[in-house]
Amino acid sequence: MSETVSPSSLVIAVDGPAAAGKGTLARRLADALGLACLDSGALYRAVGLAVLHAGGDPADEAAAAAAARTLDTGRLSDPALRTPEAGDAASKVAAFPSVREALLEFQRRFAREPPAGCRGAVLDGRDIGTVVCPDAPVKIFVTASPDERARRRFAELQAAGAKAIYAAVLSELAERDDRDSNRAVAPLKPADDAAILDTSTLDADTAFRAALEIVAQRAPGWRRLVQDVR
Ligand code: DC
């Protein structure tokens, strides 16, 4: 058992590929159920960005591991982490076992001892259900077709005023999927006991209700609260 969670607390693992909607879903679940929320991708983005800012190469394992070991986890909401450059650097540093190892305990502690007196936590990422919190009672693997994910990412970039070309967004996503899914350590894949939530044809509200249903099924102690939220 890699985490010790008291019976009344709840850990929800939300994993999935880039732009599948898992961040939005994780945040909504956390807000609705009064849980703390950790976007683990922000940790990898912060490491990638720290390497870039120091003039290093995110594909250099020694530089990436040093950045991971000295990471300031208090700045995970920095908007600079949301840029495509940070995402690309994140995907590179995330392939290194030493980087993943350096970030593991922070994530496990967040799940075990959520901040602000919360009764549990939602963590989203790629390996939460498989590696970080393999004992989480609720695991949701959020996915969507590559076209749909590219369409959403493209719309996000346009709304933010960034210049974007749909074909380029689609091929960057495919590249990241490939890197995240085929790396040797903690590759992107659903845990054997994860519920698969395909959001290709679902809007955000419908996906949220489907996720609440999964929570109600898998965490019976939380059913009443889920009913109140619905
Ligand atoms: O979810 P995101 O786009 O912010 O993630 C950025 C990169 O970080 C992604 O390409 C893969 C990596 N990542 C990871 O390997 N493991 C996680 N738990 C979260 C993110």
Say what the pLDDT of residue 104 is: 98
pLDDT at residue 1 above 60?
A: no
Distance between the two ends of the chain, CA-based, in angstroms?
A: 32
Please name the residue that has the structure tokens 């967004």. Answer: 169
pLDDT at residue 229 above 80?
A: yes
pLDDT tens track for 171-195? 999 998 998 899 889 899 999 999 9
- Determine the atom of ligand 1 nearest the C-alpha atom of 18: 3
Angle of CA points 149, 43, 180, to nearest 5°: 45
Q: Which residues line ligand 1 (CB under 6 A)?
A: 18, 40-41, 44-45, 87, 90-91, 94, 125-127, 176, 180
- The pair of structure tokens assigned to 169 is 């967004």
d(CA 136, CA 81): 27
Distance 40 CA to ligand 1 centre (A): 7
pLDDT at residue 221 above 70?
A: yes
Residue nearest to atom 1 of ligand 1 (CA): 41
Which contacts (CB < 8 Å, 24+ apart) does range 167-174 have?
170/146, 172/84, 172/88, 173/17, 173/18, 173/19, 173/146, 173/149, 174/146
Residue nearest to atom 2 of ligand 1 (CA): 41
CATH assignment, 10-229: 3.40.50.300
d(CA 163, CA 169): 11
What is the pLDDT confidence band of residue 117, given thresholds at 50, 70 and 90? Answer: confident
Q: Are 130 and 186 in contact (CB under 8 A)?
A: yes
Distance 162 CA to ligand 1 centre (A): 22
- Determine the atom of ligand 1 nearest the C-alpha atom of 127: 18
Domain regions of the chain by residue span: 10-229
Helices (H), the chain: 22-33, 40-53, 61-69, 84-93, 97-112, 146-159, 166-182, 204-218, 223-229
β-partners of residue 10 are: 120
User: Positive or negative CA dihedral for 184, 75, 33, 153?
Assistant: negative
Distance 126 CA to ligand 1 centre (A): 6
Nearest to 10 by CA among 36, 46, 39, 48: 36
pLDDT at residue 52 above 60?
A: yes
The DSSP secondary-structure symbol of 194 reads: P
The DSSP secondary-structure symbol of 74 reads: G
d(CA 214, CA 29): 11
What is the pLDDT confidence band of residue 6, given thresholds at 50, 70 and 90? Answer: very low
Question: Average pLDDT of the chain?
Answer: 93
Distance 10 CA to ligand 1 centre (A): 23
Say what the pLDDT of residue 230 is: 79
Residue nearest to atom 16 of ligand 1 (CA): 126
